[in-house]
Amino acid sequence: MSRFVSVETSDVRFPTSLMLDGSDAMNPDPDYSAAYVVIRTDDPRDEARDLAGHGFVFTIGRGNDVQCAALDALRDHLLGREVEPLLADLGAAWRLLVHDSQLRWLGPEKGVIHMAIGAVLNALWDLKAKRAGLPLWQLLARMSPREIVDCVDFRYLSDALTPDEALELLEAAAPGRAEREAALLRTGYPAYTTTPGWLGYDDAKLVRLAKEAVADGFSQIKLKVGGDLADDKRRLRLAREAVGPDIAIAVDANQRWDVPAAIAWMRELAAVDPAIAWIEEPTSPDDVLGHAAIARALDPLPVATGEHMMNRVMAKQFLQADALQVLQIDATRVAGVNENLAMLLLAAKFGVRVCPHAGGVGLCEAVQHLSMFDYVALSGTTDRRAIEYVDHLHEHFVTPTVVRDGHYVAPIAPGAGTQMLPESVVAYTVARIEA
């Protein structure tokens, strides 16, 4: 029996605002950052292999220290606790952290404290996967339907999804698991790229990167919109000319509009290019009814959202209200793998496709495991699904994402993909950036 002996946090920030990487209509100057947590045990085998659980919350700069403070506030729940019972029952780990009534008051189940819980849960999943010698997606895809269901908190979901219904969905997908696992290892999971479309890039850079995306095998690119309508129209035309008729173009407003403005603006853009793949984050991520109104008005143009969807209760409502047609889960916005399993189960129940949000720092590395699990053991399909890809900052991770021919290569290294290189953590801790 081993025990948790340390929960170390680091305030890691990359000065991305200097290059306008990641610039959009709401976030002009992000410094991609990670509130990073490393959880260690006293197990001599873990120590011998330098094996620990790694997790993080992605932020865009200021406030990363607040996220670290929230991670620190969770430390007492782990220190001295026995490792094996907790890793064997990560549903219990969720309850330990999410159901702490005093900490829950800070959300409840949203924002800084909820994201910190997510990072700790993800670190525990990372440790569990490493001890099992499996990449997270494979660990998940080889768990029994009952074990998966036991990781999910169905509180507030039962009017839309019960544990029995979730079990049925997973059991129905069980037969083809081995085949799909082999297919995934062979061909990977479809990706799309946002690299060409940042608002801070000039037209020449947009066109060059859009053409590169096609040459690299991506079947979809994405443009940031919402700053200026004339600019958006011009950029959309340029992108369409650059990629040709067969590549999908999605657009992303990053919450820039009110409901009436979203409808009006998107009607203008749809007139320029009727084949827009989706409109992403047209308005507040909290506005279920607003998204539903936008989706009805713009039908059949799909509405996509999720990178700022704070918890499973919002996912439930967006699906109940037909307020989104593409669910964009994020690896570090909600309370970890557990809550993303809930969101994948909800999407499967409602028959909605999942195209995860990624980019930032380490989001590609982390979220790919969830889509791959979903393909092997739940939805059973990659049809019209793709994981976002941005080619930033992968070099700081021990097992960086590999994208080849427009597909995420299925990782085979054990763990959740969330471990940063120790030298990167040291080099980009906040004290150095601010100096």
108 cis-preceded (ω within 30 degrees of 0): yes
Should residue 117 be labelled a site residue for a second copy when binding is judged by CB under 8 A? no
Q: Which is nearer to a second copy, 63 or 422 (CB)?
A: 63
CB proximity list for 431: less than 8 A, separation 6 or greater: none
Kind of pairing between the strands at 353-354 and 53-59: unpaired
Candidate list 54, 77, 130, 224, residue with the active-site label: 224
Catalytic site includes residue 357: yes
Among this protein's residues, is 224 annotated catalytic? yes
3: β partners = 82
Buried-exposed string 324-336: b where 16+ CB fall within 10 A, e elsewhere: bbbbbbbbbbbbb
The answer to whether 390 touches 358, Cβ cutoff 8 Å, is yes
**Distance of closest approach, residue 402 Cβ to a second copy, in angstroms:** 27
Give the residue, chosen from 317, 350, 391, 399, that forms a contact with a second copy under the rule CB under 8 A: 317
Q: Is 322 exposed, middle or buried (0-12, 13-18, 19+ CB in 10 A)?
A: middle
Regarding 2 and contact with a second copy (CB under 8 A), the answer is: no
Contact segment (CB under 8 A) with a second copy among 129-137, 151-159, 388-396, 422-430 equals 151-159
Using the 8-state DSSP alphabet, how is residue 399 labeled? S
Selected range binding a second copy among 55-63, 174-182, 188-196, 298-306, rule: CB under 8 A: 55-63
Residue of the chain from 314, 348, 366, 367 that contacts a second copy (CB under 8 A): 314
Rounded least distance, CB 343 to a second copy, Å: 14
167 binds a second copy (CB under 8 A): no
Residue 108 contacts a second copy per CB under 8 A: yes
The residue from 10, 16, 67, 371 that contacts a second copy (CB under 8 A) is 67
Q: How is residue 395 annotated by DSSP?
A: G
Q: Is 322 in the site for a second copy (CB under 8 A)?
A: no
Site for a second copy in 362-401 (CB under 8 A): none
Among 27, 187, 399, 429, binds a second copy (CB under 8 A): 27
Is residue 48 packed enough to be buried (19+ CB in 10 Å), middle (13-18) or exposed (0-12)?
exposed
Quick one: which of 58, 47, 50 has its CA closest to 11? 58
The verdict on 288 binding a second copy (CB under 8 A) reads yes
Name which position in 232, 287, 330, 388 contacts a second copy (CB under 8 A). 287
Q: Considering the rule CB under 8 A, would residue 136 count as an interface residue with a second copy?
A: no
Tokens of 147: 């074990």
Strand (E) or helix (H) holding 280: strand 279-280
Distances (CA, A) of 431 to 65, 85, 230, 272, 435: 11, 37, 41, 47, 6
| Size of the residue set binding a second copy (CB under 8 A) | 61
Is there binding between residue 104 and a second copy (CB under 8 A)? yes
Map 213-235 to HEC letters.
HHHCCCCEEEEECCCCHHHHHHH
Part in contact with a second copy (CB under 8 A); list of ranges 85-93, 123-131, 287-295, 347-355: 287-295
429 lies in the site for a second copy, by CB under 8 A: no
d(CA 383, CA 306): 19
- The yes or no reply on residue 62 touching a second copy (CB under 8 A) is yes
Radius of gyration over every alpha carbon of the chain, rounded to an integer in angstroms:
21
Which two tokens mark 272?
């320029």
321 binds a second copy (CB under 8 A): yes
Contact between 102 and a second copy by CB under 8 A: the answer reads: yes
Q: Does 310 bind a second copy (CB under 8 A)?
A: yes
Answer for which of 91, 107, 163, 217 binds a second copy (CB under 8 A) is 107
From the list 128, 357, 369, 392, the catalytic residue is: 357
Residues that bind a second copy (CB under 8 A): 26-31, 59-63, 65-67, 69-70, 73, 100-115, 155-159, 255, 258-261, 283-290, 293, 308, 310-311, 313-314, 316-317, 320-321
Q: Which residues are catalytic?
A: 224, 357
